[in-house]
Amino acid sequence: MSEQKQQWGSRLGVILAVAGSAVGLGNFLRFPGQAAQNGGGAFMIPYFCALLLLGIPIGWAEWTMGRYGGRKGFHSAPAIMGVVGKGRIARYFGIIGVLIPLGVYFYYVIIESWCLSYCFEYVRQIAGGAGLGIDSKAPIADQARSSAEFFDNFTGAKFDGVTVKGGIHESLVFWSLTFALNVWFVYRGLSKGIEAFCKWAMPAMAVCALVVLVRVLTLPANDALPDQNVLTGLGYMWNPDFAALKQAKTWMAAAGQIFFSLSVGFGVIINYASYMRRKDDVVLSGLTSAATNEMFEVGFGGMITLTSAFIFLGASGTIAAVQSGSFSLGFKTLPIVFAQMPMGNLIGALWFFMLFLAAITSSLSMLQPTKAFIEEAIGVSRKMSTTLVTIVALIGSFWVLWFSKDGVALGTIDEWVGTFLIVILAAVQVICFGWVFGLERGLREAHEGAQMRIPRVFGFVLKYVAPSYLLIAIFMFCKDDMPGMLTKLGGNPVARNTLIMIAVVIAGLMFLTYLGEKRWRAAGMDLDGEREPDDTKGHA
């Protein structure tokens, strides 16, 4: 089916690749805001509960299903879900596991290019150039205006098409470069491309984060307002407000943060794990990837972002930054913080380089599932599958780049594909694992080659707790958020057309699944999970 069976070169490689997929901008920009708005330190109670009861168990199920599907010769979510879910319905639901990473890639690569360009601007500032154009001696309000203006002009937030009309806009250069880098690494394949890069990028991210953390924790108090110092900054983030624990939204926010942070239900882990061998451990590996994500999220994101903002902007400025959202915090507020900070240009460069590494290790993982699906659905070479996925991704990403006004296209895909469908896929996966494939069988499969045992209580969690949470979350989402999302579609042709584009992609994926089914049956593959895997057969 593919020219050469792809495999990970080492266990550490797959762990770092999955961790790289999980660690992204959300660890540094979304998590701190969620914690601060939902009880500060007290947020960690529902957060760690969700980690143990939702994130890690669902992750284990995905790793297990992925490796099992790989033993059958399948590497794509539709094929693997068909095996685990024993039939066509699960197989077609598995299409979501290709749609999500592909659809999210459309906009994620653009945000990634912003990180690279901001890093470049800081390097320019170090070299004496204008950079972001923020005057650190001006009043904070003026700095905020300059920062916002730079971001809006760079990203085309004011007008559609502004980044691609009338000459080559700088954002287009960085987008093209970032896109090309992604394609290059994915084309090089699993071991020589994604794994090799993640083995370097993940430690590099940790080093950058550590340098920034040390800088932030050694910052002197604000000269004008000595109450704005490291300790009060940390206190803003970590002092607990236990009253928040009485609100359901705190527990939902914590579970949501864990869910999206660990990239479960994203279609990536199931693909990455499919390249593992039968005796490769998935339990300790899955736990290690999750732990790595938490180290970055809590250990760095929880210590750096809001602490530094608080020292220079105070409580009101930090609250405003948090409420304005992750993009605003990352690309408008933090540059103001770096402008005030001693060695701010260097720290800014390191910070945005770290964010770029976090983003690219994630975006690589978003192209791979679609590439694998195309390869095994229609039996083309790696070169051809890379070409086809590049073409589709280029069209989708250019669409988002063009319709940049107010980030409508980006927001539409983020809501429908990057939020709603993730919960759907996770629910389908966990129900298939616990109820169709069978929990006992699933745990037996997970323990093949495992270097730690899954505690027995997680069986109950996987069969009852996780599916219940996800089904409730879907119901609440449909009740509370869907009406607003539908209203937005009605009032905005760009949002509507973006969703139509997604529908076209879905139709294409369904057609490919149909072709794949015929191909897999003709090759005698067990696409409905009717037989045990035959590990003696090499799958092409």
> Applying CB under 8 A, does 190 fall inside the site for other proteins?
no
Q: Which of 295, 394, 465, 506 touches other proteins (CB under 8 A)? A: 295
> Applying CB under 8 A, does 255 fall inside the site for other proteins?
no
CA 62 – CA 45 distance, rounded (Å): 25
> Applying CB under 8 A, does 112 fall inside the site for other proteins?
no
CA 281 → CA 7, 287, 455, distances in Å?
Answer: 14, 11, 16
**Among residues 27, 396, 17, which one has the least CA distance to residue 179?**
396
Total chain residues near other proteins (CB under 8 A): 37
**Nearest CB to other proteins, comparing residues 288 and 370:** 288
**Nearest CB to other proteins, comparing residues 115 and 219:** 219
Decide if 281 contacts 445 (C-beta within 8 A).
no
Phi/psi for 532 (5° steps) reads -75, 150
Rounded least distance, CB 502 to other proteins, Å: 36
Cβ neighbours around 192 below 10 Å, total: 13
Q: Which 15-34 residues touch other proteins, going by CB under 8 A? A: 15
Rounded least distance, CB 403 to other proteins, Å: 39
CA 122 – CA 346 distance, rounded (Å): 7
Q: Which of 87, 299, 438, 508 touches other proteins (CB under 8 A)? A: 299
Rounded least distance, CB 12 to other proteins, Å: 6
**Nearest CB to other proteins, comparing residues 247 and 381:** 247
**Among residues 359, 400, 297, 270, which one has the least CA distance to residue 21?**
359
Q: Which 302-361 residues touch other proteins, going by CB under 8 A? A: 302-303
**Nearest CB to other proteins, comparing residues 48 and 514:** 48
CB contact burial 216-231 (16+ within 10 A = b; e otherwise): beebeebeeeeebbbe
**Nearest CB to other proteins, comparing residues 11 and 539:** 11
CA 16 – CA 301 distance, rounded (Å): 19
CA 28 – CA 302 distance, rounded (Å): 7
**Nearest CB to other proteins, comparing residues 158 and 444:** 444
Q: In sequence order, what DSSP letters do the residues of 224-253 get, joined into one string?
A: S-TTSSHHHHHHHHHSB-GGGGGSHHHHHH
> Applying CB under 8 A, does 168 fall inside the site for other proteins?
no
CA 252 – CA 477 distance, rounded (Å): 11
Rounded least distance, CB 318 to other proteins, Å: 15
The DSSP symbol for 75 reads -
Please identify, among the stretches 59-67, 144-152, 289-297, 499-507, the one whose residues bind other proteins according to the rule CB under 8 A: 289-297
CA 132 – CA 149 distance, rounded (Å): 9
What is the three-state SS of 395-444?
HHHHHHHHCCHHHHHHHHHHHHHHHHHHHHHHHHHHHHHHHHHHHHHHHH
> Applying CB under 8 A, does 40 fall inside the site for other proteins?
yes
> Applying CB under 8 A, does 381 fall inside the site for other proteins?
no
Rounded least distance, CB 300 to other proteins, Å: 10
Please identify, among the stretches 1-9, 36-44, 319-327, 377-385, the one whose residues bind other proteins according to the rule CB under 8 A: 36-44
Q: Which of 1, 36, 42, 446 touches other proteins (CB under 8 A)? A: 42
Q: Which 424-483 residues touch other proteins, going by CB under 8 A? A: 449, 451-452
Q: Which 474-513 residues touch other proteins, going by CB under 8 A? A: none
Rounded least distance, CB 246 to other proteins, Å: 17
Which H helix or E strand runs over 445?
helix 439-446
Q: Which of 245, 284, 320, 384 touches other proteins (CB under 8 A)? A: 284
**Nearest CB to other proteins, comparing residues 276 and 400:** 276
Rounded least distance, CB 10 to other proteins, Å: 8
**Nearest CB to other proteins, comparing residues 10 and 323:** 10
Please identify, among the stretches 86-94, 280-288, 390-398, 425-433, the one whose residues bind other proteins according to the rule CB under 8 A: 280-288
Decide if 194 contacts 364 (C-beta within 8 A).
yes
Q: Which 47-86 residues touch other proteins, going by CB under 8 A? A: 48
Q: Which of 285, 318, 386, 429 touches other proteins (CB under 8 A)? A: 285
Written as six digits, the tokens of 332 are 């408008």
Rounded least distance, CB 236 to other proteins, Å: 9
CA 45 – CA 114 distance, rounded (Å): 34
CA 198 – CA 121 distance, rounded (Å): 25
> Applying CB under 8 A, does 7 fall inside the site for other proteins?
no
What is the three-state SS of 129-174?
CCCCCCCCCCCHHHHHHHHHHHHHHHHCCCCCCCCCCCCCCHHHHH
**Among residues 449, 453, 469, 452, which one has the least CA distance to residue 461?**
469
CA 380 – CA 377 distance, rounded (Å): 8
**Nearest CB to other proteins, comparing residues 239 and 247:** 239
**Nearest CB to other proteins, comparing residues 267 and 533:** 533
CA 449 – CA 484 distance, rounded (Å): 47
> Applying CB under 8 A, does 235 fall inside the site for other proteins?
yes
> Applying CB under 8 A, does 164 fall inside the site for other proteins?
no
Binding interface with other proteins (CB under 8 A): 10-12, 15, 40-42, 44, 48, 231-232, 234-235, 237-240, 277, 279-281, 284-285, 287-288, 291-292, 294-295, 297-299, 302-303, 449, 451-452
